[in-house]
Structure 1
Amino acid sequence: MPWRYSGTLLLGALLLLFALNALMDTGARVEDVGVQRFDSAWRAVGDGGEEFGPVPMRLPRNCHSRDECEHVYRIRFEHDRTGDGPFALYVPQFTGRIQVALNGVPMADSTLAETSLRQGQGAPQIATVPERLLQPGFNEISVVLSGRLGQGAVGPVFFGPENRLRDDYETAHFLVVGLSRLMDGALLAIGSILLLIWLARRQDQLYLLCATISLSFALTSLAPLIASAFGDFLLMPLNTLRFVAVCLLLPFVWQLTGRTPPVRTRWFLVPGALMMLCFHVLPAAWSMFLLLALFMPLALGLAVLALWQLWRAGVRGRDRTALTLLVAVVVLLALAVRDHLVLSTGVGRAYVLLARFNGPILAFMMGAIVLRGFAEGLSLLEDFNARLRHDVAAARVKLQQAFAREQAQAQRETLAAERMRLMGDLHDGIAGQLVSIVSLSERAQGPVAEEVSRACHSALTDLRLVVDSMEDFGDDLGMMLVAFRDRIQPQLRRSGVRLDWRVHDLPDLPGLTPTLTLGLFRLLQEAVNNAVRHSGSDVVEIESPQQPGQGVRLVVRDHGAGGAQPRRGHYGMENMQRRAVDLGARLIVESDATGTRVIVDLPQRFGAADEAALKG
């Protein structure tokens, strides 16, 4: 839910704000014994006279007018030489420019080392006071305040032992100057990175807008340094960049929330160009009038529209990115309220203003959000690339498998075509010649002719078995055995032997190739021929008894006298054993007075190694 998410963000931001406020409470560290704090002074007016009564030295309106202003404040205090030295003057907070003197001797001048022109605070000033300058009794501190663009202010002045003021000065100087420079460096880095990303992705203006805003705030902060290095003519254009950055907030929010801008982004650069032109052409009074009457209300209106767009996208549209940025803006407004309370009511003793960081912090948050989106996009792209590589690898494997199947299919088709050619040649050539020889032998008379006819019939049957084995039966063992029966049964009939066929419901045997088929044909043919030649039985049985959970068993049985065993000079039994090994089958020969049984236990699947062995 957006309210729960925004509440969590606000709670975390408030805790951070309290911790930051405690860190910025630098004034508590100088409220020490021996340290004098001056919250009011006599202000010089006219030709050096003094205004009646002390004037409070409190930000932000010591000096405020449309023209340049310069006020002189005098502080009289009593010094006891018995205190611990050395002593120092410390001014933690001011705007504009100040010059500090002790008993007429200059001690500090902010114009000599000006580091920041941001409205709200200048760099803290501390000066060691030589012991000889301190007079017994009363001493006088004079502070000359010069307002830039008609505005200037100075806060409390401290006098006391240097070792008790130096720590607070170092902390305040880091928070005012060092931290600002660190943020400027971060904004320059973020802006440069986003600019480089935009150069590679010119169609996405979000990166260009965020880079422009980040660089504008950074260059505005570095305006004094850049102007001192390259010339004062750059001071006004660089300070104008802050206004340009504020004007670009609305198109940035449009791009961030995915809304199509109703006008081109370039039109939001026009107010910045007009503001720069006014400060270069018109008198200072007119420029200040236009700044207060036109440019500042315009910037405020654009900022309000940007906030409204963030509210719509974050709360109504439940866009967490917009909601995060909206909460950040609320926290920055809280910083401004805190500074107002510190300056106007004296709540707390902090002398480091936080609102001066609002612009850079907002730009930093915007850059961080955009870079996070870019990083998340890269992460998604890497995940997509990983999935794509995985899918491509899987597709490559599938293509290789499909290619292998196509190659195998092409090889099978080639072998099938070659088998058909060989089958045709054998049928039309050798088989035709054998049929002719049988026909001639049957016409002739005598035992020689009968022997030739018998031999030709046997050769013809064997040739037809070879031709049948070249047929591709697939994995269908039953069809293969039916083809064997159709070829062997006429031969048995001519020999006066009856075939008792009891082979039914055979399962498929994967891997049954024509080469394996021929080997099984030869094994069964040898078993049948041995039964016909040596058993004396007038019946040969071929059966396949059921073996649940095992391979196929084929049994060739006769009812002869038995006595089947290997004999010297006869290789039938040895050939049968070799063919069984090549098939990966187990061969068992049982022979007794009731007959001979040749048992062939086929494997459940013919392997590639078996076929390779057969080919060998």
Structure 2
Amino acid sequence: MTGLRRTPACQHRAGVWAWALGLMLMLMLMLQSAGVQAEPVQVRRAWITEAGPSGAREREVRLPDAWEHTAPRRDGAVRYRLDLPDAALQVERPALYLRRVGNIFRVHLNGQSVAEVGAYTRPLPNYNQQPQLVRLPQALVQPSGNRVEIEVIGAPRREAGLSTVWVGAIAELEPEYERAMDVQVRGAWLLASACATMGALGMLLAWRTQQSMYGWFAVANLVWAWRIAALSSHDAGIWIQALQWAFEMSYAVFVGAIAMFLLAMVGRDHTIGRQGLAAYIGITLVLSLANAVLNLPVLRTLHLLLTLLVTTAMAIYLAHYSFKERSRTGALLCLGALTGVAFGARDWIAFRLHHDYEAYTGARYAIVLLLFVMGWRLVEDYARTLVRLREMNRNLQDAVDHKQHELEQLFETRREIERQQATTAERDRILREMHDGLGGRLVGAIALAQQLGQQPPTEGNTLQELQLALGDCLTELRLSLDSLEADQRTLGEALAELRFRVEPSLRAAGIRLVWSVDDSAMSAELAAGATLQVLRIVREAFTNIIKHAEASVVRLTLRRETDWLELSVLDNGREQRPDRNIPRPAPLPSGKRGLSNMRTRAASLGAEIEIGPTAEGWGVQVRLPLA
């Protein structure tokens, strides 16, 4: 088998491809090495120089270094020296990231000043929560042996110190710095603004509603807003000690006020709770004053531990209340209190046990949930108020409709009264017209007929008949006038009036009227129309007796039996006359509808009527129901 040989042309092409591949690999390695940034380095060792009784001396410390615990009586300026890793500085735009430092500090790189924050004054007590990003000039960076000196100016009880230091490219450190600024600075100012706003709103609500719950909430929020804002103030002048004490006491005042607010919201702000919170405020006052004099960190540790215990007790009580009462408000408040306990316990462990100067406080944000609960409570109260207003409006509308209905009824009643008054007035007018007009003329005609009756008769009994007819007309007219009287009368009074009207006619016809009316029947009352119908029945009976019976005696009887009235008109008739030879007046012409009218009138009254002969003569008996 013959081996293959490469031609010169093939060898040339292979060399070109190998050279191109090598060039590409070299370019990739160069680009990769140019784009790689060294990771930031955390520096935890430092050498501190501070003045002592024997002069300045330098010693090594581990970062973070919290003055309150490592040197509680430290005062004035302290210099920290840090050796920076060379690789961390061999980057574009090197920088230092200080999570906490202060209160006032200076930064020097290789003996040259690169940053200065604050002035040589006595700062307020604060937690130095503001992070710092210090740019290091590239021109001051040495190939090796770079040294940074950080001069920190503080005072006892001022929470001064230095956290660990991060060294690296500013592009790597800036995101962490911005996150810390958002949480610790911008978020703090936003929270302070929210607390101040809610505090002012609570004051207005307490003033307008006179409810202590809103007052306690306002005090708690305003105190918390001041506490957050006080961390950013650095020059207190001669008031530094007073502000120090006020800052420490503000935590206890806030917890006491917020506890009273929570108890008031669930309706349990009784004497025992108030006395317990007053005792807590008194104890914290003693501890803060003792710490201001003695400068013992353990006193502040006890102060914060007592606050944590009070907050925990409040959370347990609210949990018990919400479980027992099934209260949604109590559950939300319990959740807020538990959140405060969780943040407070975390801060107490980090700051008081671990002495972690690098940690940030989180307890300030525990109030956010309470702000939400308060906002929810305001919305709930507003919604409940709207519901009550709607209910009140409905009740008011119902009351207005009811009153309007009553007014309409009163108006209708008033109109009915006015109509009745108008009817009465018109009836009185008709009465007067009939009495003065027709009645007067009938009386005159009857008087004239009586005068003519004294003369010798010329036309038989025509004049006598005219006289009787006119008398009947006058009697009927008087009955009609009596029925139109507006005053209500009993049946006995109406019959008595009829007797007065009819008895002259009976006497003129030679008929004696015997009147028999029981006392119990005299007081019976009927409607005006019913009384008129009864009178017309009796009047018709008398008229028939005068015209047809040729009687000498007629008896009218009225008696009462429970709910019935019995009325009878009975005459002795023609056969009972003792002397048949006495001349009698000629009978008057009779109508054929008298008896029928009597039965019709009785039927309209719902009465029973019997008309006809009896053993004693002719009688009309009416049985009338009183109902």
Q: TM-score range by the shorter chain?
A: 0.5 to 0.7
User: What is the alpha-carbon root mean square deviation over aligned residues?
Assistant: 5.1
Residues 43-442 of structure 1 mapped to structure 2, 5 A cutoff: 43-44=47-48, 47=56, 49=58, 51=60, 56-58=62-64, 64-68=70-74, 70=78, 72-79=80-87, 83=91, 85-94=92-101, 98-111=105-118, 122-145=129-152, 149=157, 151-202=159-210, 204-225=211-232, 228=235, 232-233=239-240, 235-239=243-247, 240-259=249-268, 260-262=270-272, 263=274, 269-271=281-283, 273-274=285-286, 277-278=289-290, 282-285=293-296, 288=297, 290-293=299-302, 295-335=303-343, 353=360, 356-362=361-367, 364-417=368-421, 419-420=423-424, 422-424=426-428, 426=431, 429-430=435-436, 432-433=439-440, 436=443, 439=446
Residue 140 of structure 1 and its aligned partner are, at CA, apart by: 1.7
Paired AA for residue 392 in structure 1? L
SS of the aligned residue for 1:66 comes to coil
* Equivalent-residue separation in structure 2 for 1:62 and 1:266 (angstroms): 29
* Equivalent-residue separation in structure 2 for 1:257 and 1:190 (angstroms): 20
Residue 483 of structure 1 and its aligned partner are, at CA, apart by: 9.9
SS of the aligned residue for 2:166 comes to strand
Q: 1:34 aligned to 2:38?
A: yes
SS of the aligned residue for 1:216 comes to helix
- Segments of structure 1 that go 5 or more residues without pairing to the other structure are 1-31, 473-478, 495-536, 542-616
* Equivalent-residue separation in structure 1 for 2:353 and 2:286 (angstroms): 37
* Equivalent-residue separation in structure 1 for 2:69 and 2:300 (angstroms): 19
Q: Do 2:308 and 2:345's aligned partners in 1 also have CA atoms closer than 8 Å?
A: no
Paired AA for residue 395 in structure 1? A
Residue 188 of structure 1 and its aligned partner are, at CA, apart by: 0.9
Q: Do 1:79 and 1:134's aligned partners in 2 also have CA atoms closer than 8 Å?
A: no
* Equivalent-residue separation in structure 1 for 2:234 and 2:466 (angstroms): 126
* Equivalent-residue separation in structure 1 for 2:47 and 2:534 (angstroms): 133
Q: Cα distance 1:329–1:450, how it changes in 2: closer, same or farther (>3 A)?
A: same
Residues 212-263 of structure 1, C-alpha deviations (whole Å, 9 max, x = no match) = 2111111112124556378643532441312222244443333233221224
Deviation larger for 440-449 or 165-174: 440-449
Q: How many pairs were matched up?
A: 452
Identity %: 14
Q: Cα distance 1:178–1:464, how it changes in 2: closer, same or farther (>3 A)?
A: farther
* Equivalent-residue separation in structure 2 for 1:226 and 1:452 (angstroms): 129
Q: Do 1:175 and 1:352's aligned partners in 2 also have CA atoms closer than 8 Å?
A: no
Paired AA for residue 252 in structure 2? F
Residues 454-473 of structure 1 mapped to structure 2, 5 A cutoff: none
Residue 358 of structure 1 and its aligned partner are, at CA, apart by: 1.8
Residue 34 of structure 1 and its aligned partner are, at CA, apart by: 2.8
Q: Do 1:442 and 1:450's aligned partners in 2 also have CA atoms closer than 8 Å?
A: no
SS of the aligned residue for 1:137 comes to coil
| 1:524 alignment counterpart | none
Residue 126 of structure 1 and its aligned partner are, at CA, apart by: 1.1
Q: TM-score, normalised by structure 1?
A: 0.58
Q: Which has the higher contact order (CA 8 A, sep 6+)?
A: 1
Q: Cα distance 1:404–1:435, how it changes in 2: closer, same or farther (>3 A)?
A: farther
SS of the aligned residue for 2:235 comes to helix
* Equivalent-residue separation in structure 2 for 1:113 and 1:176 (angstroms): 24
Q: Do 1:77 and 1:140's aligned partners in 2 also have CA atoms closer than 8 Å?
A: no
Q: Do 1:101 and 1:143's aligned partners in 2 also have CA atoms closer than 8 Å?
A: yes
Residue 190 of structure 1 and its aligned partner are, at CA, apart by: 0.9
| 1:512 alignment counterpart | none
Residue 458 of structure 1 and its aligned partner are, at CA, apart by: 9.1
Paired AA for residue 190 in structure 1? M
Q: Cα distance 1:345–1:391, how it changes in 2: closer, same or farther (>3 A)?
A: closer
Q: TM-score, normalised by structure 2?
A: 0.57
Q: Do 2:67 and 2:160's aligned partners in 1 also have CA atoms closer than 8 Å?
A: yes
Paired AA for residue 141 in structure 1? V
Q: Cα distance 1:405–1:461, how it changes in 2: closer, same or farther (>3 A)?
A: farther
SS of the aligned residue for 2:389 comes to helix
SS of the aligned residue for 1:88 comes to strand
Q: Do 1:36 and 1:160's aligned partners in 2 also have CA atoms closer than 8 Å?
A: yes
Q: Cα distance 1:415–1:129, how it changes in 2: closer, same or farther (>3 A)?
A: same
Q: Do 1:60 and 1:343's aligned partners in 2 also have CA atoms closer than 8 Å?
A: no
Q: Cα distance 1:81–1:41, how it changes in 2: closer, same or farther (>3 A)?
A: closer
* Equivalent-residue separation in structure 2 for 1:169 and 1:470 (angstroms): 109
* Equivalent-residue separation in structure 2 for 1:90 and 1:168 (angstroms): 9
Q: Do 2:43 and 2:84's aligned partners in 1 also have CA atoms closer than 8 Å?
A: no
Residue 345 of structure 1 and its aligned partner are, at CA, apart by: 14
Paired AA for residue 106 in structure 1? S
Q: Do 1:63 and 1:153's aligned partners in 2 also have CA atoms closer than 8 Å?
A: no
* Equivalent-residue separation in structure 2 for 1:455 and 1:382 (angstroms): 83
Residue 388 of structure 1 and its aligned partner are, at CA, apart by: 2.3
Q: Cα distance 1:122–1:419, how it changes in 2: closer, same or farther (>3 A)?
A: closer
SS of the aligned residue for 1:123 comes to coil
SS of the aligned residue for 1:386 comes to helix
* Equivalent-residue separation in structure 2 for 1:352 and 1:455 (angstroms): 130
* Equivalent-residue separation in structure 1 for 2:533 and 2:334 (angstroms): 90
* Equivalent-residue separation in structure 1 for 2:337 and 2:120 (angstroms): 33
Q: Cα distance 1:366–1:39, how it changes in 2: closer, same or farther (>3 A)?
A: same
Residues 44-80 of structure 1, C-alpha deviations (whole Å, 9 max, x = no match) = 46755554xxx65348799634322746241322158
Residues 177-218 of structure 1, C-alpha deviations (whole Å, 9 max, x = no match) = 11100101111111121122223344x322222222111111
Residue 291 of structure 1 and its aligned partner are, at CA, apart by: 3.4
Q: Do 2:40 and 2:169's aligned partners in 1 also have CA atoms closer than 8 Å?
A: no
Q: Do 2:114 and 2:136's aligned partners in 1 also have CA atoms closer than 8 Å?
A: yes
Paired AA for residue 57 in structure 1? L
Paired AA for residue 92 in structure 1? R
* Equivalent-residue separation in structure 2 for 1:145 and 1:63 (angstroms): 16
Paired AA for residue 284 in structure 1? N
Deviation larger for 302-311 or 212-221: 302-311
- Segments of structure 2 that go 5 or more residues without pairing to the other structure are 1-35, 51-55, 454-458, 488-526, 544-592, 598-627
